[in-house]
Structure 1
Amino acid sequence: MLAISRLKTPTPRLFRPIHFSARLLKALEEPRINPVGIQYLPWNLQDKIFTSNTSKSRRQLSAKERGLIDISKRHLDDNGLLGKKTSIVEPITMDLPKLEGRSLDEHFYKLGMYSSEPYLGKSEQFAASSVPPRPQQAEWVLQSGWTKYEAGKAPVRVAYPDENDALVFDTEVLYKISDFPVLATACSATAWYGWVSPWLLGETENLRNLIPLGSKEEKIVIGHNIAYDRKRISEEYNIKPTKSMFIDTMSLHISVSGMCSRQRPDYQRIKKTKRELNKIDIEQIDEDIIQEVQMLETAESENPWIRFSSLNNLADVGLLHCGISHNKEVRDDFGTMTREEAREDFSRLMDYCARDVDTTFQVYKALLPQFLKVSPHPVTFAGLRHMSSMFLPINKSWENYIESSDRCYYSSLEEVYNSLVKLAETAVSLKDKPEEWQKDPWLKQLDWTIKPFKMIKGKKGEPPRLPKNLKLPGYPEWYKKLFPKAGAPMNLTVRSRVSSLLLRLQWEGHPLIWSDVHGFVFKVQPDEERAYLKKNFTKADMNTETNMALKDDTSGVYIKVPHKDGPAARCTNPMSKSYLSYFEKGLLTSEYEIAAKALQLNAQCSYWISNRERIHSQMPIWSDDADMGVPNNSPKDFGIILPSLIPMGTVTRRAVENTWLTASNAKKNRIGSELKAMIQAPPGYKFVGADVDSEELWIASVVGDSLFKMHGGTPLGWMTLEGTKSEGTDLHSKTAKILNISRNEAKIFNYGRIYGAGIKFATQLLKQFRPELSMDEATATANELYTATKGIKSKSVIFGDNKFWRAGTESIIFNRLEEMANQDLPRTPVLGVAITQALMAKNLGKSGFLTSRINWTIQSSGVDYLHLLVTSMQYLIDRYGIDARLMITVHDELRYMSSDADTYRTALALQISNIWTRAMFCEQLGISDLPYSCAFFSAVDIDHVLRKETDMDCVTPSNPTPIEFGESLDMKGLLNKCDTLTSKSSKQKRLTLSKIDYQARVPVLEDLDRIKQLQVLKYMEVQVCKSVKELKAIEWDIDWGVRSRGTQVLDHVEETTKKTTKKMTAPKSTEVKMVRKMKPAVTDARAKPRTPRVIPDRTHTDPVIRVVEPLPSQNKPASPGSKNTLAALMAPSTPPPSPRVAAEEVFTAQELQEIFMSTGA
């Protein structure tokens, strides 16, 4: 009572700290639980976030909302989830900043405009302008540094381009010599600029010259794959961000006209055919060529999207959008020229570089307006700005890491190499003992042919001599092939086919045998064949064998060595890392210990083999190359790598980068796998970041939950929010149980399914995880998974002409995603970004690419999530004076570099940004509530190195010394460290966002939902019903008048048994006619179906039964029902027609019988 009285009466200022009342509320407020057990945010947070919908959250539920809840509960109960244990925790409170507007949509619009300006305005202005003609080839001045070229004026030397608004920029390098630039050109609305490296002119021998571009002015810098050019700008190598925004025309093209990976092969095939046909002279045309032209025309007509897309290089993009034919032949010269040759050909090379800039400007001019139309929300443009400014700090550990990894790699290679060489020398010593190698099942597979050679007659008095460059005379062919040329060392690795034979590999005691047709096989006795086939091994069909010795061998049966890609694939290298598990299980063995050791070393080197070249090609810049804003004692104490990141590199607008965005986590048995941990903060700084928990899975689930207007309304939504591994109620555990695989393996299935992958994908993957299954068993198990999750394909008037899924845990989600994907112009539900032209329905022809379109909806929404996060973070950083900067994002995770003093404030800003972003998704999908379990990051990491988890020691063969752990804080732990963004040591910035004009917009999916509102309960019921009988009952209750053909009331008859349960008195060939009278729309879900009555039909000579639908009550209007859509239900009602027989539709006897049985007639 004392606490309550304190809340109600004013207290002296001395006893009222800033969060005093909030802490009392924490003790008094009960958790908010929705009807299916999902905990929501407490009221004190709810009211601060959903400011425009607080009254809606507190009001009484409508009858429709109660009906949706009942359907949801039944659906959850059918899937064993209703009433299961949920996690209810004591709600916390925090000091949330006030929204910049009356709604989250207004808030984020203003944040997006704040982050976008003045760059958005300048970019639009520049796209509407023109640039001066580029200088003539002979006009370029050969002098180091920048030179400015203005029409009517003499060229003048400048420190950097003195432009305050916009610049198109391109660099060139002699890439065989160095990664550093030798030439660059740029243009603005008023002038052209050229830059020449002092090294190219011989003024210095230092190759490491960067280009100054100026950083004091807020300007946009435009380029095609601009990240490549940004790496060569000196001002970008500073821990404080510059005022330049980089706009990548490649990203603009991909967002507007990019193609998905499934379209690329068709595009390349058709374009290649077109190029080849264009080369043919008229005189060469014959019937075959005419037929090929016709096939090409057919392919183009079936794939109209090809006219709206292209590959991503500047030449193809320029041709598509501007009709510019750009000759890129000069580019090859940069890979062959010396410094002197480049200097002599300076004018031509500069002209080529300037042409690239000119083309890039024309592409930008054409694409920017389209991009802003496709991506209308300012948060997307702001996201493009932030995603283009990433950096990675390093120190001397970087070079130590490369040296150590190389040393371990070469040491392992040498050990294996020496062993293999020894085995080869032992084997070749038998060349003169054929009786021995012919008895050896491995060695006899080698080519022991020894080719004769002629001696060259010597000069007078000299003996005959061997021909020059003769390779190993007197040695067998298999041995000679190990040497590239005479005098070269032996080229023998574990990946060499001969190594498997030298190592005497065997499968369960059977020697491995090489077949050119089937890959590695092994021979078993005929009486063993059945046992192997029962274990799902594949018998090799030796009738197709080209090796006659194997083909004619009838003494046994040849079995294929299993492959992870299925029975059709060939095993060509049993020493690859995918076979390591077979060694460990004792299935694949060798007489030599070195075999297992070689396989382990090969697996140990696999990461470095795959990534070594990309890691070596990184371009680290050290503190003696540029002013980095960090004090250091030696040049290698601090450095920066700028990742070559394409901010929107796929059709789903995900960022693409081939090293850092694909780097794996450190593994104890993988050389060099500690790569990410070599990104290390300078003294006085830390990395602060978090992973968005189940980001894309949650997005998919909330899309489904939104139809119930309640979180956790679908089984997928419930499992995503409240499912636990211990209870076996999470999505991955459920899938693992169905497939009898591990939970980690189930994750791969689940994400593949959410992205639209089908049964074929699941079957192939299941065979990898459970190779003992036959193909039929794997297919049946995959079908069981898809029936339990995606459901059963059905038809209903509620869905018009489209089929839909029902009865699965994810049926509602997939129906919703397919509806979204099948729109004329799909858009992401939150920021309203439109799909690319190459995936628009009107441009697809016969190829629907539905899987790609569904995948686009989910992944592109994940990109929206990231853009909302980084835009919100930048706003909070600026507003509260937090010393932090975005460092890198990897799909659903992001990392900031923050000063030690501001690490906890940065962490709190991340949590606030996440709660705002999640809430924005909910609001735009029509749910004005946010689940407590996903409102906050499960943990925010504060670390001095980049790694997945702060408690990973990152010990690997190349890094035996553990790395000191970082700190990981959940929300409560963070609030104990820091409970407000304000700080005495930093000033808050006054941001005048109230001056930004905002116009409320209609939620993206509202138009999609409008037609369903009158029948929303039926719409949901048909998706959750388990049986055909249930579906028929619901169908019967829906107005007959919306049917385009009577048999649609029993579309599901095709799915039920064809077994006749009761014979009709009429002959088998008898047709039964049903005549239906149109009746009014049924709006009451409890209305009972009417039973048709059967009367004889006297108008036919054949035995026919006519079924007449009872007439509707005359005081009720009838629906016109002219269309097979719900639009018919919304049309103006008209009186029923006067004739008794309104329509006749033919049913089979069995169909009529099914009608009567299902309705109890």
Structure 2
Amino acid sequence: MHHVRRQRNLHPSFNYHCIKNKYFSNDLKSSNIICGHEYIQQHLKFNQLENENNAKENNKLVDTEKDLDKSEFERTNNHARFNTFNIQMVSKSIFNHLFPNIKKKELSPELVETSILDLQKHGLMTKDKITKDVQLNLPKLQGKDIEEHFYNIGEIQSAPYRNHLLDIIGDIPKMPSEWSFQPGWTRYSEDGATRVDFPEDDALVFDIEVCCSEGDLPTMATAVSRTAWYSWVSQDLVTGSKNIGNKHYLPDFLIPLESSPKQRGYKLNETFKRPRIVIGHNVSYDRARVKEQYWLERTGLRFLDTMSMHVCVSGVTSYQKMLLKAGVAEEDDWSKLSSLNNLSKVHNLYCGSELSKEERNVFVSGTLLDIKKDFQMLMSYCASDVIATHNILSKLLPLFLERFPHPVTLAGMLELGLAYLPINSNWERYISDSHQTYEDLDNEAKFLLAQHANQSCQLLHNQEYKNNLWLWDQDWTVKELKLKKTPTKKIVSKSMENLDEVNKTTQNEYDDWEQNSHKELEEKFKYLMNLESLIPVKAPHLAGYPEWYRKLCPKVNSCDWTPGPDMISTGLHITPKLLSLTWKGLPLHFVRGHGWGQLVPFVTEIKIENDNVPLEELVKFCHKIKNGNVCQCQYTVEKSPSLIHEDVQNSLVKFICKKNNKKFKKPQLNDESVECFCKASIGNGYGFVKLPHKDGKHLNVGNPLAKDFIYKFSKNELASSDPRAERVIEISRMLSYWRNNRERVEKQLVVWLGKRDKPKSIDCDELGAILPQVVVSGTLTRRAVEPTWMTASNALDERVGSELRAMVQAPPGYCLIGADVDSQELWIASVIGDAYSVKEHGGTPFGWMTLSGQKSEGTDTHSVTAKAVGISRNNAKIINYARIYGAGQPFAERLLKQFNPGMTAAEAKQKALKMFTMTKGTRVFPLKTHVFPELKQRLYNRFSANEICSVNGKSVEELFDKTKWIGGTESAMFNCLEEIALNPEPKTPFLKGRLSRALEPRNDTEDRFIPTRVNWVVQSGAVDFLHLMLVNMRWLLGPDIRFCLSFHDEVRYIVPEELKYQAALALHATNLFTRAFCVQQLGMSDLPQSIAFFSSVEVDKVLRKEANDNCKTPSNPHGLTRGYGIPLGESLDIYECIEKAKGVVGIPRYRNKKNK
């Protein structure tokens, strides 16, 4: 039964459209294959008898609930409810609360039979494990059902801001011709210019400019409302800079949008709760320079980003973005519906004209004095950006509201834009410790590398370098010290005379000589001093040393000179050679144009243009290899494709012995690494085999010590016989995180709160905040993006600075609570497949594995895939996600090669094919109902379908319906995702948000973007899920609890200590409500117990992923507990949360107040 939303008296753009689920109609079936009815009936009867016997033995048999569908199992233990496919559902009380007055639909017996047989074919539908029912007094829904509940709370939270937006897209005043040059805000209206503390309008279009050479503080700003213009000028610009070099920023240095200079930042009155909205392009940059946003207590001000709205409506893929940047997309129809994200391009797309951005260069490279000279012009430039943003909003807002009609979408985006990270003095300590640890380890690595370089210099003697397998091709030329021409006879005679005098010294004269030794020594070595005149004015740098070594040493006259090869690092080409690195036992070598690879003792297609290869030494080296890489020609080692075992990845045999098999082939250009070769082939020449690149064999490896390869050292694929090399590699791994993230971390805009900005109850001298510059919809899938915090890894014991997240620490008296949505995207994809196939949870193998599969039993989807294909579970997990996101078999082959570079292309292709056949299934062409009705066979592969069309002179479209997948664990899911992707107006399954205009299917374009659309359905559905959670949490916790940050599928909140358990329970309830809404949108009306609540909610003092992680790293060796005095937090499941919160969900007083 479809539910029809009542029309509401709102703006036409926000009439809630009749939600009719196009994608999940009952007549769609996952397969035309019907299993034997008699067999299924026997199976069901056997199961029923077994269940009855078990129940009688336990003496706990209860009657079946009358109001549930008769096809459901009822378990006796704890009154647990199970559905047809042995999936435990939520308790009866929770079911009645979430799905009141909803009659369960009758399931198709044929589909049920087919589904059970399919589950058993894959070894699923095992005995159920009963978990304790959750008994929880949930808050009353804000509507007649869960669907109406979310619409209503979304409407309450978004309507005031939407109304302000609809108001401001009207006409605005004319821009002032002259701007006031005085600190602070000035208001411009028909009455003239007036100085004000801040703009008080409900809606503002806002833009700021920053003089980059002076730091991160704002220099000027402009804003416009429906009634007036505003300008803001910094004190530094007017009176001269007072904060150059001062990085200790205070809120008073920023732009006030809500308060007067003397206003305190706590115990705010109702005026500050008034809904107001600020609109900007990439508005998070502007928000980071707004004073009140750093207060711990939040206000009613929200920020809307026109760039994020543009991405929602007209976003593009990374490939399309590349074409737009290159200016080669004009011929594509989609290019007329999208653009790059900068203000000028977006304005051109929606308003038909580009903007001049030349004036912006003054802010980038100029000084405050330069800005002051052109103040009027630059202020007008800033105001022109405000006008452009208003023009874009006027065109874009109606499009956005039409394409994203559910109020939760707007409410969720506004909430996501309020990210807030509290910090304290530990932040500066963290940066200092990380920097110091990095420098210490870097110096150690340089010292070890310098030792290698110094020792390698000795190979110059007797030209030993010519026999060295790594350094033979380096530049060993030496620059001699050429002295000036001068007679040497005089000097030699002088020295001989001195020498004779010394020899004539007798023992009796020794004492006198000793007294005059200083004078005589000067006389003795006077000839050496005279040699100074022979030294050229410009002496060569390190004469007598080889050229490669001289390049590593700074010159004496350089400002940072130190003796020795101080300029050496792991990024230099010579470093892998100095470390004598090998790949699978063979020496590493570099060939220009082909990158790094192996030096091999036989001829390959890649030639080495150097006749000095020490072939004899290379042959000796290969004969010493003890790891089985060299075939001994004593037995046949052929592994034909037909005999390859599932665990073939463990086999080291890659080249067939040519003595024992005629199919032997020499290594070719495309062979990515050598793991085995025949002894008979050794010594007939030399060649080069490229190292395997993670993104494909057509790419070159630029540095074997880079991040992608450095992990291979622990697997002994990348190795060295020198233990010092292992230490250098270890250090390189330790430094990689801080090296890549240090600049972003140190450039975070930190604002420290003054006494007037924080409550007196907070006894903390150093309390500050970072506002992460989150783009709330930064990708085509509407995922939020942010370069530092949303990409921060968890703390790793071998990564300097990786404890970054833990440096976000709750203020005294507060806690951070949050959770990670368990297998969010897997569940979304699987529940879509279940709804499409049989309209019941766990009705498909993929759905069942997601809900009831256990890692310990090997029945979860990753373990099943890994076991079937013969790869590790971690690798299977990555490939599973990639496939669900729309990646094809070639991409899976590349991933397999990346995971195991020694795997041949044939093996990778075989494994990928097996994996896709097992999971995605086989694509078939179903005959249309009226076509050849006499034929029993209705499904054909591509070849057979084309043959039928050719024989009958018809096109595929005339004879066959759309293709579909059959036989795989995920076939139903992919059929549904592709059906959505091919719809003329693809929409998310939950909040009905539409795909970008640039990707929507069109009849005149090829379907090259189908994988992208499939990916969009799942990931954009996950964004809907996040928005639903944010809105429900705000309803449960009220307006005063502060949203902290969302990491992909994690959410975190800042809550008072006394409310931490109630807030944690609210998170559990939010997961329950959100999933219930999602399944109801898919046409189902029940919820499995396994995904109803989080596996745990973290109650903590810091922003770490797991509350029991002590975050030990090289820069924090003592962990948070001993190093910072921060105790471990709590990880609470639903039962523990209910007990600690005493069953109180959220903050009831807020909800009760709203409901009155």
TM-score (ref. length: structure 1) = 0.75
Q: Offset of 1:797 from its aligned partner?
A: 3.1
Match of 2:79 among 9, 30, 47: 30
* Residue 112 (structure 2) aligns with: 69
Q: Offset of 1:200 from its aligned partner?
A: 2.0
Q: After superposing the two structures, state which structure 1 stretch, 558-567 or 435-444, moved more.
A: 558-567
Match of 1:673 among 802, 814, 817: 802
User: Which residue identity lines up with residue 83 of structure 2 in the other structure?
Assistant: N
Contact 1:26/1:91, CA 8 A, preserved across alignment: no
Q: Structure 2 matches for 1:1018-1057, cutoff 5 A?
A: none
Q: Structure 2 matches for 1:584-595, cutoff 5 A?
A: 584-595=714-725
* Residue 444 (structure 1) aligns with: 472
Q: Does residue 258 of the first structure (1) align with residue 323 of the second (2)?
A: no
Number of matched pairs: 915
Task: Name the CA distance, whole Å, in 1 between partners of 2:824 and 2:153.
Answer: 22
Contact 1:648/1:654, CA 8 A, preserved across alignment: yes
Q: Does residue 972 of the first structure (1) align with residue 1013 of the second (2)?
A: no
* Residue 730 (structure 1) aligns with: 860
Match of 2:886 among 745, 753, 756: 756
3-state secondary structure, aligned to 2:901: coil
Structure 2 residue runs without a partner (length 5+): 1-73, 260-271, 487-530, 603-618, 623-628, 633-637, 639-651, 656-665, 673-681, 930-959, 1121-1126
User: Which residue identity lines up with residue 482 of structure 1 in the other structure?
Assistant: L
* Residue 854 (structure 1) aligns with: 1014
Give a deviation string over 1:858-880, Cα, whole Å, max 9, x none.
Answer: 111111111111111111122xx
Task: Name the CA distance, whole Å, in 1 between partners of 2:532 and 2:1049.
Answer: 77
Q: Offset of 1:359 from its aligned partner?
A: 0.8
Task: Name the CA distance, whole Å, in 2 between partners of 1:688 and 1:382.
Answer: 21
Q: Does residue 171 of the first structure (1) align with residue 208 of the second (2)?
A: yes
3-state secondary structure, aligned to 1:710: coil
Q: Offset of 1:728 from its aligned partner?
A: 1.4
* Residue 943 (structure 1) aligns with: 1100
Q: Does residue 107 of the first structure (1) align with residue 156 of the second (2)?
A: no
Task: Name the CA distance, whole Å, in 2 between partners of 1:239 and 1:568.
Answer: 53
Q: Offset of 1:936 from its aligned partner?
A: 1.1
Contact 1:250/1:312, CA 8 A, preserved across alignment: yes
Give a deviation string over 1:974-1024, Cα, whole Å, max 9, x none.
Answer: 11112443799956543259xxxxxxxxxxxxxxxxxxxxxxxxxxxxxxx
Q: Does residue 523 of the first structure (1) align with residue 599 of the second (2)?
A: yes
User: Which residue identity lines up with residue 1096 of structure 2 in the other structure?
Assistant: A
Q: Structure 2 matches for 1:437-586, cutoff 5 A?
A: 437-450=465-478, 476-482=546-552, 487-488=557-558, 489=561, 490-507=566-583, 510-526=586-602, 531=631, 535-536=653-654, 539=667, 541=669, 555-586=685-716
Match of 2:185 among 134, 141, 146: 146
Task: Name the CA distance, whole Å, in 1 between partners of 2:994 and 2:670.
Answer: 54
Match of 2:434 among 371, 396, 405: 405
* Residue 227 (structure 2) aligns with: 190
Task: Name the CA distance, whole Å, in 1 between partners of 2:685 and 2:1052.
Answer: 64
Task: Name the CA distance, whole Å, in 1 between partners of 2:1155 and 2:1103.
Answer: 36
Q: Offset of 1:846 from its aligned partner?
A: 2.1
Match of 1:134 among 156, 172, 175: 175
3-state secondary structure, aligned to 2:214: coil
- Percent identity between matched residues is 42
Match of 2:167 among 125, 131, 152: 125
Match of 2:139 among 97, 106, 115: 97
Q: Structure 2 matches for 1:894-1043, cutoff 5 A?
A: 894-963=1051-1120, 964-981=1127-1144, 989-992=1152-1155
Task: Name the CA distance, whole Å, in 2 between partners of 1:797 and 1:866.
Answer: 41
Task: Name the CA distance, whole Å, in 1 between partners of 2:1002 and 2:599.
Answer: 56
Match of 1:48 among 90, 97, 100: 97
Q: Does residue 338 of the first structure (1) align with residue 467 of the second (2)?
A: no
Match of 2:1047 among 874, 878, 890: 890
Give a deviation string over 1:204-235, Cα, whole Å, max 9, x none.
Answer: 61364111011624211000010001000010
Task: Name the CA distance, whole Å, in 2 between partners of 1:983 and 1:262.
Answer: 44
* Residue 718 (structure 1) aligns with: 848
Match of 2:1027 among 867, 872, 890: 867
Q: After superposing the two structures, state which structure 1 stretch, 361-370 or 86-95, moved more.
A: 86-95
Q: Sort the Cα spacing of 1:482 and 1:95 in 2 relative to 1 into closer, same or farther, 3 A.
A: same
Task: Name the CA distance, whole Å, in 2 between partners of 1:508 and 1:835.
Answer: 47
3-state secondary structure, aligned to 2:910: helix
Task: Name the CA distance, whole Å, in 2 between partners of 1:369 and 1:170.
Answer: 22
Q: Sort the Cα spacing of 1:927 and 1:688 in 2 relative to 1 into closer, same or farther, 3 A.
A: same
Q: Sort the Cα spacing of 1:237 and 1:144 in 2 relative to 1 into closer, same or farther, 3 A.
A: same
Q: After superposing the two structures, state which structure 1 stretch, 964-973 or 793-802, moved more.
A: 793-802
* Residue 211 (structure 1) aligns with: 255
User: Which residue identity lines up with residue 925 of structure 2 in the other structure?
Assistant: K
Q: Offset of 1:895 from its aligned partner?
A: 0.8
User: Which residue identity lines up with residue 993 of structure 2 in the other structure?
Assistant: V
* Residue 352 (structure 2) aligns with: 323
Q: Does residue 180 of the first structure (1) align with residue 217 of the second (2)?
A: yes
* Residue 1139 (structure 1) aligns with: none
3-state secondary structure, aligned to 2:1011: helix
Contact 1:324/1:359, CA 8 A, preserved across alignment: no
The CA RMSD over aligned residues, in Å, is 3.1
User: Which residue identity lines up with residue 223 of structure 1 in the other structure?
Assistant: G
Q: Sort the Cα spacing of 1:341 and 1:843 in 2 relative to 1 into closer, same or farther, 3 A.
A: farther
Q: Does residue 771 of the first structure (1) align with residue 906 of the second (2)?
A: no
3-state secondary structure, aligned to 1:829: coil
Task: Name the CA distance, whole Å, in 2 between partners of 1:848 and 1:633.
Answer: 59
Match of 1:840 among 997, 1000, 1016: 1000
Q: Offset of 1:790 from its aligned partner?
A: 0.3
Q: Sort the Cα spacing of 1:180 and 1:725 in 2 relative to 1 into closer, same or farther, 3 A.
A: same
Task: Name the CA distance, whole Å, in 2 between partners of 1:261 and 1:766.
Answer: 24
Q: Sort the Cα spacing of 1:466 and 1:310 in 2 relative to 1 into closer, same or farther, 3 A.
A: farther
Q: Structure 2 matches for 1:1102-1113, cutoff 5 A?
A: none
Q: After superposing the two structures, state which structure 1 stretch, 814-823 or 767-776, moved more.
A: 767-776
Task: Name the CA distance, whole Å, in 1 between partners of 2:443 and 2:133.
Answer: 60
Q: Sort the Cα spacing of 1:535 and 1:134 in 2 relative to 1 into closer, same or farther, 3 A.
A: farther
Q: Sort the Cα spacing of 1:204 and 1:457 in 2 relative to 1 into closer, same or farther, 3 A.
A: farther
3-state secondary structure, aligned to 1:95: coil
* Residue 304 (structure 1) aligns with: 333
Q: Structure 2 matches for 1:652-731, cutoff 5 A?
A: 652-707=781-836, 708-731=838-861
Task: Name the CA distance, whole Å, in 1 between partners of 2:904 and 2:75.
Answer: 57
Q: Does residue 596 of the first structure (1) align with residue 625 of the second (2)?
A: no
Q: Offset of 1:452 from its aligned partner?
A: 8.4
Structure 1 residue runs without a partner (length 5+): 1-24, 274-298, 545-551, 994-1161
Q: Offset of 1:606 from its aligned partner?
A: 0.5
User: Which residue identity lines up with residue 818 of structure 1 in the other structure?
Assistant: E
Task: Name the CA distance, whole Å, in 1 between partners of 2:821 and 2:586.
Answer: 50
Task: Name the CA distance, whole Å, in 1 between partners of 2:552 and 2:198.
Answer: 56
Q: Offset of 1:72 from its aligned partner?
A: 1.5
Q: Offset of 1:350 from its aligned partner?
A: 1.4
* Residue 639 (structure 1) aligns with: 768
Task: Name the CA distance, whole Å, in 2 between partners of 1:586 and 1:381.
Answer: 52
Q: Does residue 818 of the first structure (1) align with residue 978 of the second (2)?
A: yes
User: Which residue identity lines up with residue 398 of structure 2 in the other structure?
Assistant: P
* Residue 80 (structure 1) aligns with: 123
3-state secondary structure, aligned to 2:237: coil
Task: Name the CA distance, whole Å, in 2 between partners of 1:110 and 1:42.
Answer: 26
Give a deviation string over 1:1073-1127, Cα, whole Å, max 9, x none.
Answer: xxxxxxxxxxxxxxxxxxxxxxxxxxxxxxxxxxxxxxxxxxxxxxxxxxxxxxx
Q: Offset of 1:812 from its aligned partner?
A: 0.7
* Residue 806 (structure 1) aligns with: 966
Q: Offset of 1:557 from its aligned partner?
A: 4.2
TM-score (ref. length: structure 2) = 0.75
Q: Sort the Cα spacing of 1:184 and 1:466 in 2 relative to 1 into closer, same or farther, 3 A.
A: farther
3-state secondary structure, aligned to 1:115: helix
Contact 2:601/2:683, CA 8 A, preserved across alignment: no
* Residue 375 (structure 1) aligns with: 404
Q: Offset of 1:667 from its aligned partner?
A: 0.5
Q: After superposing the two structures, state which structure 1 stretch, 468-477 or 90-99, moved more.
A: 468-477
Task: Name the CA distance, whole Å, in 1 between partners of 2:1012 and 2:296.
Answer: 39
Contact 1:665/1:948, CA 8 A, preserved across alignment: yes
User: Which residue identity lines up with residue 320 of structure 1 in the other structure?
Assistant: L
* Residue 342 (structure 2) aligns with: 313
